[in-house]
Amino acid sequence: RVKSELVGEEVVPEDFGGDSPFVGVSSKTGQGIDELLEQVLLQAEVLELKAPVESLAKGLVIEAKLDKGRGPVATVLVQSGTLKRGDVVLAGSTYGRVRAMLDEDGKATAEAGPSIPVEIQGLTEVPQAGDEFMVLADERRARE
């Protein structure tokens, strides 16, 4: 049924002669997850999907909170470029210098590239989830 509906939206599965791979998965049993990940990697390779890493970082704020001991903390997902400790970040209407950066395991890290989520500290206020963030050349530009 789902395949038929997608054909109506011009997303044609390989089974029907199209070029879109479909993988059946189950969230309950985990069945098909490995095959899905393989297909995602294969498609990324075939389509040559690559994000620039040698530029200033840009991405999204996934979640943010005010931590009593650490101040404003934001979990961000880098979409392009490389985010480094010490970078000046503008996130929505707030800004700051990245004082500390933690990876998904809570370990300190010096930088994060595309598709890497990290928790950053050093913002002046708590940004909103969904805000875009970008690295700026200096703090004076961020204040403007």
pLDDT digit string, tens, across residues 26-67:
889 989 899 999 988 888 888 877 776 778 889 999 999 999
Neighbours of 71 (CB within 10 A): 15
Give the bridge partners for 61, in sequence order. Answer: 76
Residue-wise pLDDT for 65-85, tens only, equals 999 999 999 999 999 899 999
Amino acid at 16: F
Token pair in block for residue 37: 């990940």
Q: Does domain 58-143 have CATH number 2.40.40.20?
A: no
**In the chain, where the domains are located:** 2-46, 58-143
